[in-house]
Structure 1
Protein backbone atom coordinates (compact mmCIF):
# COMPACT_ATOMS: atom_id res chain seq x y z
CA UNK A 1 0.00 0.00 0.00
CA UNK A 2 1.34 3.44 -0.93
CA UNK A 3 1.80 5.82 2.00
CA UNK A 4 0.96 9.52 2.08
CA UNK A 5 4.30 11.25 1.66
CA UNK A 6 4.50 14.31 4.00
CA UNK A 7 6.18 16.32 1.24
CA UNK A 8 3.21 15.71 -1.04
CA UNK A 9 0.82 16.67 1.75
CA UNK A 10 2.73 19.91 2.42
CA UNK A 11 2.40 20.88 -1.21
CA UNK A 12 -1.29 19.92 -1.20
CA UNK A 13 -1.95 22.13 1.84
CA UNK A 14 0.06 24.95 0.27
CA UNK A 15 -2.45 24.82 -2.60
CA UNK A 16 -5.40 24.67 -0.20
CA UNK A 17 -4.18 27.65 1.84
CA UNK A 18 -3.04 29.80 -1.08
CA UNK A 19 -5.79 28.99 -3.57
CA UNK A 20 -3.65 28.34 -6.64
CA UNK A 21 -0.94 26.02 -7.89
CA UNK A 22 1.27 29.01 -8.77
CA UNK A 23 1.13 30.35 -5.22
CA UNK A 24 1.65 26.85 -3.82
CA UNK A 25 4.80 26.54 -5.93
CA UNK A 26 6.09 29.80 -4.48
CA UNK A 27 5.36 28.68 -0.92
CA UNK A 28 7.11 25.32 -1.18
CA UNK A 29 9.97 26.71 -3.32
CA UNK A 30 9.32 24.40 -6.28
CA UNK A 31 8.57 25.04 -9.93
CA UNK A 32 4.91 25.00 -11.04
CA UNK A 33 5.59 21.88 -13.11
CA UNK A 34 7.06 20.12 -10.07
CA UNK A 35 4.01 21.04 -7.98
CA UNK A 36 1.71 19.72 -10.72
CA UNK A 37 3.67 16.47 -10.78
CA UNK A 38 3.40 16.19 -7.00
CA UNK A 39 -0.37 16.65 -7.14
CA UNK A 40 -0.64 14.01 -9.84
CA UNK A 41 1.40 11.61 -7.72
CA UNK A 42 -0.80 12.29 -4.68
CA UNK A 43 -3.91 11.61 -6.77
CA UNK A 44 -2.37 8.30 -7.89
CA UNK A 45 -1.80 7.32 -4.26
CA UNK A 46 -5.31 8.34 -3.16
CA UNK A 47 -6.90 6.80 -6.22
CA UNK A 48 -9.21 9.74 -6.95
CA UNK A 49 -8.90 13.25 -8.41
CA UNK A 50 -8.19 15.85 -5.73
CA UNK A 51 -8.32 18.96 -7.93
CA UNK A 52 -10.81 19.97 -10.61
CA UNK A 53 -11.21 22.99 -12.93
CA UNK A 54 -13.01 25.86 -11.21
CA UNK A 55 -13.45 29.11 -13.08
CA UNK A 56 -10.05 30.21 -14.29
CA UNK A 57 -8.23 28.10 -11.73
CA UNK A 58 -8.64 24.83 -9.89
CA UNK A 59 -10.60 23.84 -6.81
CA UNK A 60 -10.93 20.83 -4.53
CA UNK A 61 -13.02 17.79 -5.40
CA UNK A 62 -15.00 16.07 -2.59
CA UNK A 63 -12.02 13.73 -2.15
CA UNK A 64 -9.73 16.75 -1.91
CA UNK A 65 -11.96 18.35 0.72
CA UNK A 66 -11.89 15.11 2.69
CA UNK A 67 -8.10 14.91 2.53
CA UNK A 68 -7.51 18.38 4.01
CA UNK A 69 -8.21 17.44 7.62
CA UNK A 70 -6.26 14.18 7.37
CA UNK A 71 -3.28 16.01 5.82
CA UNK A 72 -3.17 18.58 8.62
CA UNK A 73 -3.32 15.87 11.29
CA UNK A 74 -0.62 13.76 9.62
CA UNK A 75 1.76 16.71 9.35
CA UNK A 76 1.03 17.72 12.95
CA UNK A 77 1.95 14.23 14.16
CA UNK A 78 5.15 14.28 12.08
CA UNK A 79 6.06 17.65 13.54
CA UNK A 80 5.37 16.55 17.13
CA UNK A 81 7.41 13.37 16.72
CA UNK A 82 10.35 15.22 15.18
CA UNK A 83 10.30 17.89 17.88
CA UNK A 84 10.03 15.35 20.71
CA UNK A 85 13.03 13.38 19.46
CA UNK A 86 15.13 16.51 18.90
CA UNK A 87 14.16 18.26 22.11
CA UNK A 88 14.33 15.51 24.73
CA UNK A 89 17.92 16.34 25.76
CA UNK A 90 18.34 19.82 24.30
CA UNK A 91 19.26 22.70 26.61
CA UNK A 92 20.38 26.30 26.34
CA UNK A 93 18.52 29.26 24.88
CA UNK A 94 17.30 30.62 21.55
CA UNK A 95 16.93 34.32 20.78
CA UNK A 96 14.50 34.80 17.92
CA UNK A 97 13.40 38.00 16.26
CA UNK A 98 10.39 38.48 14.02
CA UNK A 99 8.36 41.14 12.33
CA UNK A 100 4.90 41.80 13.73
CA UNK A 101 3.36 40.04 10.69
CA UNK A 102 4.50 36.63 11.91
CA UNK A 103 4.20 37.44 15.62
CA UNK A 104 0.46 37.84 15.00
CA UNK A 105 -0.01 34.97 12.57
CA UNK A 106 1.67 31.59 12.28
CA UNK A 107 4.57 31.88 14.70
CA UNK A 108 2.76 31.57 18.08
CA UNK A 109 1.57 27.99 17.50
CA UNK A 110 5.00 26.89 16.30
CA UNK A 111 6.76 28.50 19.27
CA UNK A 112 4.32 26.77 21.59
CA UNK A 113 5.06 23.40 19.99
CA UNK A 114 8.81 24.04 20.22
CA UNK A 115 8.61 25.13 23.88
CA UNK A 116 6.59 22.04 24.80
CA UNK A 117 9.05 19.67 23.14
CA UNK A 118 12.20 21.54 24.27
CA UNK A 119 11.34 22.21 27.95
CA UNK A 120 14.97 22.92 28.91
CA UNK A 121 15.49 25.53 26.20
CA UNK A 122 14.82 29.15 27.15
CA UNK A 123 13.19 31.18 24.37
CA UNK A 124 13.78 34.92 24.05
CA UNK A 125 11.46 36.66 21.58
CA UNK A 126 11.99 40.08 20.04
CA UNK A 127 9.38 41.71 17.79
CA UNK A 128 10.50 44.64 15.65
CA UNK A 129 11.14 46.14 12.24
CA UNK A 130 13.16 44.22 9.68
CA UNK A 131 16.11 46.63 9.62
CA UNK A 132 16.66 46.54 13.38
CA UNK A 133 16.26 42.77 13.51
CA UNK A 134 18.85 42.35 10.75
CA UNK A 135 21.28 44.51 12.72
CA UNK A 136 20.66 42.52 15.90
CA UNK A 137 21.27 39.27 14.02
CA UNK A 138 24.51 40.58 12.55
CA UNK A 139 25.65 41.77 15.99
CA UNK A 140 25.07 38.30 17.45
CA UNK A 141 22.16 39.39 19.67
CA UNK A 142 19.76 37.09 17.83
CA UNK A 143 20.19 33.47 16.77
CA UNK A 144 17.33 33.45 14.32
CA UNK A 145 15.19 36.07 12.59
CA UNK A 146 12.21 36.33 10.26
CA UNK A 147 12.55 39.56 8.31
CA UNK A 148 11.39 41.12 5.07
CA UNK A 149 13.85 40.30 2.32
CA UNK A 150 15.43 42.95 0.10
CA UNK A 151 18.31 40.91 -1.32
CA UNK A 152 19.62 37.40 -0.74
CA UNK A 153 21.76 36.96 2.37
CA UNK A 154 24.33 34.20 3.05
CA UNK A 155 22.69 33.23 6.36
CA UNK A 156 19.25 32.51 4.85
CA UNK A 157 17.86 29.05 5.52
CA UNK A 158 14.44 29.64 4.02
CA UNK A 159 12.38 32.16 2.07
CA UNK A 160 8.63 32.69 2.46
CA UNK A 161 6.79 34.28 -0.46
CA UNK A 162 3.33 35.77 0.09
CA UNK A 163 1.28 38.01 -2.21
CA UNK A 164 0.93 41.64 -1.21
CA UNK A 165 -2.70 42.76 -1.15
CA UNK A 166 -4.52 46.07 -0.71
CA UNK A 167 -6.52 46.08 2.53
CA UNK A 168 -9.23 48.31 3.97
CA UNK A 169 -11.93 48.34 6.64
CA UNK A 170 -14.78 45.93 5.97
CA UNK A 171 -16.99 49.04 6.23
CA UNK A 172 -15.03 50.72 3.43
CA UNK A 173 -13.35 54.12 3.41
CA UNK A 174 -14.92 57.02 5.25
CA UNK A 175 -13.75 59.41 2.52
CA UNK A 176 -11.80 59.27 -0.74
CA UNK A 177 -11.39 63.01 -1.30
CA UNK A 178 -8.06 64.45 -2.48
CA UNK A 179 -6.61 61.21 -3.70
CA UNK A 180 -6.42 57.68 -2.35
CA UNK A 181 -5.73 57.79 1.43
CA UNK A 182 -2.91 55.49 2.52
CA UNK A 183 -1.80 54.17 5.91
CA UNK A 184 1.91 53.31 5.75
CA UNK A 185 4.71 52.45 8.13
CA UNK A 186 7.49 54.99 8.53
CA UNK A 187 10.54 54.49 6.25
CA UNK A 188 12.21 52.15 5.60
CA UNK A 189 9.39 49.71 4.85
CA UNK A 190 9.20 47.39 1.86
CA UNK A 191 5.40 47.57 1.77
CA UNK A 192 5.54 51.38 1.78
CA UNK A 193 7.96 51.42 -1.15
CA UNK A 194 5.89 48.88 -3.09
CA UNK A 195 2.63 50.78 -2.54
CA UNK A 196 4.05 54.12 -3.65
CA UNK A 197 5.86 52.60 -6.65
CA UNK A 198 2.70 50.83 -7.85
CA UNK A 199 0.51 53.92 -7.52
CA UNK A 200 3.10 56.16 -9.19
CA UNK A 201 3.46 53.72 -12.08
CA UNK A 202 -0.33 53.64 -12.52
CA UNK A 203 -0.60 57.44 -12.36
CA UNK A 204 -2.97 57.16 -9.39
CA UNK A 205 -3.31 60.14 -7.05
CA UNK A 206 -2.77 59.34 -3.37
CA UNK A 207 -1.95 60.93 -0.06
CA UNK A 208 -0.45 59.51 3.12
CA UNK A 209 -3.34 59.88 5.53
CA UNK A 210 -1.74 57.94 8.40
CA UNK A 211 1.85 57.14 9.25
CA UNK A 212 3.03 54.86 12.04
CA UNK A 213 6.10 53.16 13.44
CA UNK A 214 4.05 50.05 14.27
CA UNK A 215 1.42 47.80 12.74
CA UNK A 216 -0.89 48.67 15.63
CA UNK A 217 -1.06 52.23 14.31
CA UNK A 218 -1.80 51.02 10.80
CA UNK A 219 -4.55 48.75 12.08
CA UNK A 220 -6.22 51.63 13.91
CA UNK A 221 -6.18 53.86 10.82
CA UNK A 222 -7.46 51.12 8.52
CA UNK A 223 -10.18 49.94 10.90
CA UNK A 224 -11.38 53.53 11.26
CA UNK A 225 -11.78 53.84 7.49
CA UNK A 226 -9.27 56.69 7.39
CA UNK A 227 -7.05 54.89 4.89
CA UNK A 228 -6.21 51.62 3.20
CA UNK A 229 -2.86 49.89 3.35
CA UNK A 230 -0.70 47.30 1.61
CA UNK A 231 0.29 44.16 3.52
CA UNK A 232 -0.20 40.39 3.14
CA UNK A 233 -3.20 38.25 4.09
CA UNK A 234 -1.72 37.95 7.61
CA UNK A 235 -2.98 41.49 8.28
CA UNK A 236 -6.53 40.69 7.14
CA UNK A 237 -8.49 40.04 10.31
CA UNK A 238 -10.39 41.92 13.04
CA UNK A 239 -12.44 43.97 10.62
CA UNK A 240 -9.82 44.36 7.89
CA UNK A 241 -10.48 42.79 4.49
CA UNK A 242 -9.08 42.83 0.98
CA UNK A 243 -10.05 46.03 -0.84
CA UNK A 244 -12.89 45.53 -3.35
CA UNK A 245 -12.15 45.45 -7.06
CA UNK A 246 -14.07 48.66 -7.74
CA UNK A 247 -11.26 50.57 -6.00
CA UNK A 248 -9.33 49.83 -9.20
CA UNK A 249 -6.01 49.46 -7.38
CA UNK A 250 -2.81 48.59 -9.27
CA UNK A 251 -1.12 45.21 -9.20
CA UNK A 252 1.60 44.77 -6.60
CA UNK A 253 4.47 42.28 -6.20
CA UNK A 254 4.94 39.26 -3.97
CA UNK A 255 6.45 39.94 -0.54
CA UNK A 256 9.49 37.89 0.42
CA UNK A 257 10.47 37.13 4.01
CA UNK A 258 13.76 35.44 4.86
CA UNK A 259 14.32 33.04 7.72
CA UNK A 260 17.90 33.80 8.70
CA UNK A 261 20.07 31.78 11.07
CA UNK A 262 23.27 32.97 12.73
CA UNK A 263 26.21 30.90 11.47
CA UNK A 264 27.39 29.99 14.98
CA UNK A 265 23.90 29.22 16.30
CA UNK A 266 23.60 26.23 18.64
CA UNK A 267 21.53 23.11 17.99
CA UNK A 268 18.27 24.39 19.55
CA UNK A 269 18.24 27.41 17.23
CA UNK A 270 18.88 25.13 14.28
CA UNK A 271 15.99 22.90 15.37
CA UNK A 272 13.68 25.91 15.59
CA UNK A 273 14.79 27.21 12.19
CA UNK A 274 14.06 23.82 10.61
CA UNK A 275 10.61 23.83 12.22
CA UNK A 276 9.87 27.28 10.80
CA UNK A 277 11.13 26.44 7.32
CA UNK A 278 8.97 23.31 7.17
CA UNK A 279 5.78 24.67 8.69
CA UNK A 280 5.51 28.46 8.75
CA UNK A 281 4.34 28.87 5.14
CA UNK A 282 1.57 26.32 5.71
CA UNK A 283 0.04 28.60 8.36
CA UNK A 284 0.04 31.70 6.18
CA UNK A 285 -3.63 31.76 5.31
CA UNK A 286 -5.08 30.29 8.49
CA UNK A 287 -2.73 32.13 10.88
Structure 2
Protein backbone atom coordinates (compact mmCIF):
# COMPACT_ATOMS: atom_id res chain seq x y z
CA UNK A 1 0.00 0.00 0.00
CA UNK A 2 1.15 3.55 -0.69
CA UNK A 3 0.91 6.19 2.02
CA UNK A 4 -0.06 9.79 1.40
CA UNK A 5 2.31 12.43 2.78
CA UNK A 6 0.58 14.72 5.30
CA UNK A 7 2.99 17.54 4.49
CA UNK A 8 1.88 17.58 0.86
CA UNK A 9 -1.77 17.30 1.89
CA UNK A 10 -1.39 20.29 4.24
CA UNK A 11 0.11 22.35 1.42
CA UNK A 12 -2.70 21.28 -0.90
CA UNK A 13 -5.37 22.35 1.64
CA UNK A 14 -3.61 25.67 2.22
CA UNK A 15 -3.50 26.43 -1.51
CA UNK A 16 -7.17 25.50 -1.94
CA UNK A 17 -8.23 27.68 1.01
CA UNK A 18 -6.10 30.72 0.16
CA UNK A 19 -6.58 30.59 -3.61
CA UNK A 20 -2.90 30.67 -4.52
CA UNK A 21 0.54 29.19 -3.91
CA UNK A 22 2.13 32.47 -2.82
CA UNK A 23 -0.41 33.17 -0.09
CA UNK A 24 -0.39 29.54 1.05
CA UNK A 25 3.40 29.68 1.35
CA UNK A 26 3.05 32.64 3.72
CA UNK A 27 0.58 30.76 5.93
CA UNK A 28 2.82 27.69 6.02
CA UNK A 29 6.08 29.64 6.54
CA UNK A 30 7.54 27.97 3.45
CA UNK A 31 8.93 29.29 0.19
CA UNK A 32 6.69 29.39 -2.86
CA UNK A 33 8.93 26.89 -4.65
CA UNK A 34 8.73 24.46 -1.71
CA UNK A 35 4.92 24.52 -1.80
CA UNK A 36 4.91 24.09 -5.59
CA UNK A 37 7.23 21.08 -5.29
CA UNK A 38 4.99 19.49 -2.66
CA UNK A 39 1.94 19.93 -4.90
CA UNK A 40 3.81 18.43 -7.84
CA UNK A 41 4.89 15.45 -5.70
CA UNK A 42 1.29 14.89 -4.56
CA UNK A 43 0.03 14.96 -8.15
CA UNK A 44 2.77 12.53 -9.24
CA UNK A 45 1.99 10.20 -6.35
CA UNK A 46 -1.70 10.05 -7.29
CA UNK A 47 -1.15 10.26 -11.04
CA UNK A 48 -3.79 13.02 -11.20
CA UNK A 49 -3.91 16.73 -11.97
CA UNK A 50 -5.27 18.40 -8.84
CA UNK A 51 -4.94 22.07 -9.83
CA UNK A 52 -6.07 23.87 -12.95
CA UNK A 53 -3.31 26.38 -13.67
CA UNK A 54 -4.68 27.63 -17.01
CA UNK A 55 -6.28 30.81 -15.55
CA UNK A 56 -4.83 33.73 -13.62
CA UNK A 57 -5.53 32.13 -10.26
CA UNK A 58 -5.43 28.55 -9.05
CA UNK A 59 -8.57 26.43 -9.33
CA UNK A 60 -9.20 22.82 -8.33
CA UNK A 61 -9.82 20.15 -10.92
CA UNK A 62 -12.68 17.66 -10.29
CA UNK A 63 -10.10 15.28 -8.81
CA UNK A 64 -8.78 18.10 -6.62
CA UNK A 65 -12.27 18.90 -5.33
CA UNK A 66 -12.76 15.25 -4.43
CA UNK A 67 -9.40 15.03 -2.66
CA UNK A 68 -9.91 18.25 -0.67
CA UNK A 69 -12.52 16.88 1.73
CA UNK A 70 -10.36 13.85 2.53
CA UNK A 71 -7.22 15.97 2.87
CA UNK A 72 -8.94 18.26 5.37
CA UNK A 73 -10.02 15.34 7.51
CA UNK A 74 -6.54 13.80 7.52
CA UNK A 75 -4.81 17.08 8.41
CA UNK A 76 -7.38 17.86 11.12
CA UNK A 77 -7.03 14.38 12.63
CA UNK A 78 -3.23 14.69 12.64
CA UNK A 79 -3.39 18.08 14.36
CA UNK A 80 -5.94 16.90 16.91
CA UNK A 81 -3.81 13.91 17.88
CA UNK A 82 -0.70 16.05 18.19
CA UNK A 83 -2.47 18.73 20.25
CA UNK A 84 -4.08 16.31 22.66
CA UNK A 85 -0.87 14.40 23.30
CA UNK A 86 1.68 17.22 23.45
CA UNK A 87 0.11 20.61 24.28
CA UNK A 88 -0.58 20.04 27.94
CA UNK A 89 0.73 23.49 28.93
CA UNK A 90 -1.66 25.50 26.70
CA UNK A 91 -4.62 26.14 28.94
CA UNK A 92 -6.77 29.01 30.12
CA UNK A 93 -9.80 30.99 29.04
CA UNK A 94 -10.22 33.59 26.28
CA UNK A 95 -13.25 35.83 26.03
CA UNK A 96 -13.99 36.62 22.36
CA UNK A 97 -16.47 39.35 21.43
CA UNK A 98 -18.09 39.46 17.99
CA UNK A 99 -20.95 41.59 16.57
CA UNK A 100 -24.13 39.61 15.85
CA UNK A 101 -24.02 40.19 12.11
CA UNK A 102 -20.54 38.78 11.43
CA UNK A 103 -20.63 35.63 13.56
CA UNK A 104 -21.13 33.58 10.40
CA UNK A 105 -19.32 32.05 8.60
CA UNK A 106 -15.95 32.60 10.29
CA UNK A 107 -16.55 32.25 14.03
CA UNK A 108 -17.91 28.65 14.09
CA UNK A 109 -14.81 27.57 12.14
CA UNK A 110 -12.56 29.45 14.58
CA UNK A 111 -14.24 27.88 17.61
CA UNK A 112 -13.82 24.43 16.08
CA UNK A 113 -10.15 25.01 15.23
CA UNK A 114 -9.37 26.34 18.72
CA UNK A 115 -10.99 23.32 20.33
CA UNK A 116 -9.05 21.01 18.04
CA UNK A 117 -5.63 22.68 18.29
CA UNK A 118 -5.81 23.92 21.90
CA UNK A 119 -8.14 21.54 23.74
CA UNK A 120 -7.21 23.00 27.16
CA UNK A 121 -8.14 26.55 26.11
CA UNK A 122 -11.75 27.53 26.68
CA UNK A 123 -13.10 30.20 24.31
CA UNK A 124 -16.11 32.06 25.67
CA UNK A 125 -18.03 33.81 22.89
CA UNK A 126 -19.91 37.06 23.54
CA UNK A 127 -22.09 38.50 20.78
CA UNK A 128 -23.11 42.15 21.01
CA UNK A 129 -22.89 45.52 19.26
CA UNK A 130 -19.57 47.10 18.33
CA UNK A 131 -20.00 49.98 20.79
CA UNK A 132 -20.72 47.59 23.65
CA UNK A 133 -17.84 45.28 22.73
CA UNK A 134 -15.36 48.17 22.59
CA UNK A 135 -16.52 49.40 26.00
CA UNK A 136 -16.07 45.94 27.56
CA UNK A 137 -12.70 45.52 25.84
CA UNK A 138 -11.51 48.89 27.18
CA UNK A 139 -12.18 47.82 30.77
CA UNK A 140 -10.57 44.41 30.29
CA UNK A 141 -13.72 42.28 30.38
CA UNK A 142 -13.04 40.86 26.89
CA UNK A 143 -9.67 39.67 25.57
CA UNK A 144 -10.23 39.82 21.81
CA UNK A 145 -12.97 41.59 19.84
CA UNK A 146 -14.07 41.99 16.24
CA UNK A 147 -15.86 45.20 15.29
CA UNK A 148 -17.59 46.72 12.27
CA UNK A 149 -16.46 50.32 11.76
CA UNK A 150 -15.70 52.84 9.03
CA UNK A 151 -12.11 52.94 10.35
CA UNK A 152 -10.44 51.12 13.27
CA UNK A 153 -9.10 53.01 16.26
CA UNK A 154 -5.34 53.30 16.69
CA UNK A 155 -5.08 49.96 18.48
CA UNK A 156 -7.26 48.15 15.93
CA UNK A 157 -6.38 46.23 12.79
CA UNK A 158 -8.61 46.17 9.70
CA UNK A 159 -9.08 42.59 8.46
CA UNK A 160 -11.65 42.99 5.71
CA UNK A 161 -13.49 45.80 3.91
CA UNK A 162 -17.10 45.03 3.02
CA UNK A 163 -19.83 47.05 1.25
CA UNK A 164 -22.79 48.07 3.39
CA UNK A 165 -25.97 47.32 1.43
CA UNK A 166 -29.73 47.68 1.74
CA UNK A 167 -31.68 44.46 2.26
CA UNK A 168 -35.36 43.58 2.25
CA UNK A 169 -37.67 40.60 1.84
CA UNK A 170 -37.30 38.42 -1.27
CA UNK A 171 -39.44 39.94 -4.04
CA UNK A 172 -40.48 42.55 -1.51
CA UNK A 173 -41.79 46.05 -2.18
CA UNK A 174 -40.92 47.84 1.07
CA UNK A 175 -38.01 49.60 -0.67
CA UNK A 176 -40.55 51.31 -2.97
CA UNK A 177 -42.56 52.82 -0.09
CA UNK A 178 -42.77 56.58 0.28
CA UNK A 179 -41.64 57.53 2.78
CA UNK A 180 -39.07 54.73 2.88
CA UNK A 181 -39.71 52.47 5.87
CA UNK A 182 -36.52 51.57 7.77
CA UNK A 183 -35.89 49.01 10.53
CA UNK A 184 -33.03 49.82 12.89
CA UNK A 185 -31.67 48.47 16.12
CA UNK A 186 -31.15 51.32 18.58
CA UNK A 187 -27.47 50.48 19.11
CA UNK A 188 -26.61 49.46 15.55
CA UNK A 189 -23.45 51.20 14.33
CA UNK A 190 -24.85 51.32 10.78
CA UNK A 191 -27.80 53.45 11.91
CA UNK A 192 -26.06 56.88 11.80
CA UNK A 193 -24.37 55.92 8.51
CA UNK A 194 -27.69 55.08 6.82
CA UNK A 195 -29.50 58.10 8.24
CA UNK A 196 -26.70 60.40 7.15
CA UNK A 197 -26.76 59.08 3.57
CA UNK A 198 -30.56 59.34 3.37
CA UNK A 199 -30.46 62.92 4.64
CA UNK A 200 -27.76 63.84 2.13
CA UNK A 201 -29.82 62.31 -0.67
CA UNK A 202 -32.93 64.23 0.48
CA UNK A 203 -34.83 60.93 0.81
CA UNK A 204 -38.09 60.96 2.73
CA UNK A 205 -38.03 58.14 5.30
CA UNK A 206 -39.64 56.98 8.52
CA UNK A 207 -38.63 54.61 11.31
CA UNK A 208 -40.84 51.54 10.91
CA UNK A 209 -39.09 49.48 13.61
CA UNK A 210 -36.94 50.74 16.47
CA UNK A 211 -35.91 47.84 18.66
CA UNK A 212 -33.20 46.56 20.98
CA UNK A 213 -33.60 43.08 19.50
CA UNK A 214 -32.04 42.01 16.20
CA UNK A 215 -34.67 39.28 15.93
CA UNK A 216 -37.41 41.94 15.80
CA UNK A 217 -35.60 43.65 12.93
CA UNK A 218 -35.21 40.33 11.12
CA UNK A 219 -38.90 39.45 11.43
CA UNK A 220 -40.03 42.90 10.28
CA UNK A 221 -37.76 42.91 7.21
CA UNK A 222 -38.59 39.33 6.20
CA UNK A 223 -42.30 40.26 6.45
CA UNK A 224 -41.66 43.08 3.91
CA UNK A 225 -42.54 45.79 6.43
CA UNK A 226 -39.22 47.63 6.13
CA UNK A 227 -35.66 47.55 4.79
CA UNK A 228 -32.41 47.59 6.76
CA UNK A 229 -28.66 48.00 6.14
CA UNK A 230 -26.47 44.88 6.39
CA UNK A 231 -22.94 44.00 5.33
CA UNK A 232 -22.89 42.30 1.95
CA UNK A 233 -22.40 38.56 2.33
CA UNK A 234 -23.57 38.54 5.95
CA UNK A 235 -27.36 38.85 5.56
CA UNK A 236 -29.76 36.06 6.62
CA UNK A 237 -30.64 33.69 3.81
CA UNK A 238 -34.26 34.89 3.81
CA UNK A 239 -33.16 38.47 3.00
CA UNK A 240 -32.58 39.82 -0.48
CA UNK A 241 -30.24 42.61 -1.50
CA UNK A 242 -32.07 45.62 -2.95
CA UNK A 243 -30.79 46.54 -6.44
CA UNK A 244 -27.98 49.06 -6.23
CA UNK A 245 -28.76 52.59 -7.31
CA UNK A 246 -32.38 52.75 -6.20
CA UNK A 247 -31.48 53.75 -2.63
CA UNK A 248 -28.54 55.86 -1.36
CA UNK A 249 -25.14 54.17 -1.47
CA UNK A 250 -23.94 53.31 2.06
CA UNK A 251 -20.23 53.02 1.34
CA UNK A 252 -17.85 50.53 2.92
CA UNK A 253 -17.36 49.19 6.43
CA UNK A 254 -14.33 47.43 7.87
CA UNK A 255 -14.22 44.34 10.03
CA UNK A 256 -11.54 45.12 12.61
CA UNK A 257 -9.58 43.13 15.18
CA UNK A 258 -8.56 44.28 18.66
CA UNK A 259 -6.51 42.11 21.02
CA UNK A 260 -5.20 42.68 24.51
CA UNK A 261 -1.60 42.09 25.56
CA UNK A 262 -2.63 39.68 28.31
CA UNK A 263 -2.27 35.92 27.92
CA UNK A 264 -0.30 36.22 24.65
CA UNK A 265 0.48 32.51 24.47
CA UNK A 266 -3.16 31.58 23.91
CA UNK A 267 -4.48 34.87 22.46
CA UNK A 268 -1.98 35.21 19.60
CA UNK A 269 -2.97 31.88 17.98
CA UNK A 270 -6.62 32.96 18.09
CA UNK A 271 -5.78 36.26 16.44
CA UNK A 272 -3.75 34.50 13.75
CA UNK A 273 -6.69 32.22 13.01
CA UNK A 274 -8.98 35.24 12.67
CA UNK A 275 -6.54 36.93 10.29
CA UNK A 276 -6.23 33.76 8.21
CA UNK A 277 -9.98 33.15 8.00
CA UNK A 278 -10.83 36.72 6.99
CA UNK A 279 -7.99 36.70 4.49
CA UNK A 280 -9.58 33.62 2.92
CA UNK A 281 -12.94 35.42 2.93
CA UNK A 282 -11.34 38.34 1.11
CA UNK A 283 -9.94 36.02 -1.54
CA UNK A 284 -13.12 33.96 -1.84
CA UNK A 285 -16.06 36.32 -1.01
CA UNK A 286 -18.63 33.69 -2.00
CA UNK A 287 -17.81 31.92 1.29
CA UNK A 288 -19.35 34.78 3.27
CA UNK A 289 -22.85 33.75 2.25
CA UNK A 290 -22.39 30.11 3.27
| Contact map agreement 1:210 1:221 (CA 8 A) in 2 | yes
* Map of 1:121 onto structure 2: 121
Are 2:19 and 1:12 aligned? yes
Following superposition, the deviation at residue 7 of structure 1 comes to 7.5
> 1:285 matched to which residue of 2?
288
Match of 2:253 in 1: 255
Residues 261, 180 of structure 1: CA spacing in aligned structure 2 closer, same or farther, 3 A cutoff?
Answer: same
The root-mean-square deviation of aligned C-alpha atoms, in Å, is 3.6
Deviation at 1:12, TM superposition (A): 2.8
Cα gap change, 1:263 to 1:116, in 2 (>3 Å): same
Q: What is aligned with 1:32? A: none
Q: Aligned to 1:256, what secondary structure does the other structure show?
A: strand
State the number of aligned residues.
247
Which residue in 2 is equivalent to 1:207?
A: 206
Shift of 1:80: 7.7
Q: Deviations over 1:146-199 (max 9, x none)?
A: 112354334335522111111110130358443111112214x33112212222
CA contact (8 A) 1:168 1:243 kept: yes
Q: Cα distance 1:5–1:252, how it changes in 2: closer, same or farther (>3 A)?
A: farther
Q: Deviations over 1:39-59 (max 9, x none)?
A: xxx9xx9673325xxxxxxxx
Unaligned runs of 5+ in 2: 1-7, 21-31, 41-50, 282-286
| Pair 83,213 (structure 1): closer, same or farther in 2 beyond 3 Å | farther
Q: Distance in 1 between matches of 2:74 and 2:277?
A: 12
Question: Paired residue for 2:98?
Answer: 98
Structure 1 residues 120, 105: closer, same or farther in 2, change over 3 A? same
Distance verdict in 2 for CA 1:250–1:93, change over 3 Å: same
Q: Rg bigger for which structure? A: 2
Aligned runs of 1:266-281 on 2, under 5 Å? 266-281=264-279
Q: Which TM-score applies when normalising by structure 2?
A: 0.70
Q: For residues 208-240 of structure 1, give each alpha carbon's deviation from its aligned partner in whole angstroms, at most 9, with x where no partner exists.
A: 211222322221111010111111134423311
Who is 1:226 aligned against? 225
Structure 1 residues 118 and 243: alpha-carbon distance in aligned structure 2, compared to 1, 3 A threshold: same
Give distance in 1, aligned partners of 2:104 and 2:65. Answer: 24
2:55 aligned partner = 50
Structure-1-length-normalised TM-score: 0.70
Alignment partners' CA distance in 2, 1:265 and 1:155: 17
